[in-house]
Amino acid sequence: MNDNEDEVSNENNKVEDELPNDSGEDNDGLSDVNDDDIAEEDVIDNPIMGTAFRPRDDGRITVEVGQLFRNSTHFREVLLDYSIQEGFKLKRIKIEKRRITYGCEAKGCTW
């Protein structure tokens, strides 16, 4: 039996030698990808949820219902640039946890 115990012990040691060494940093063991490696700009198109915002090749901004933005700050920046580009003032209508709604301040504006 001692021979079998030695074999099991050797096999376990071999597996342990192949495991990555934790250097003491926060390591959840799930992925070796750092948060810095994932660009915040990467918004995935999801036909059910909407389409990721992308400026046109000529630099002009088009804003459409259902566009997805990186975060609320990015949305507000794009919307401000769009209102300057189109020459109208915006009015904040509603801010919810997952949705922000703006409208045009001018009477009769269809936007």
Residue 51 has a pLDDT of 84
Confidence of residue 81 (pLDDT cuts 50, 70, 90): very high
Residue 3 has a pLDDT of 52
Taking the CA atoms of 77, 80, 82 and 84 in sequence, report the sign of the dihedral they define: negative
pTM: 0.51
Given phi > 0 = left and psi -120 to 50 = alpha, else beta, which region is 29?
A: left
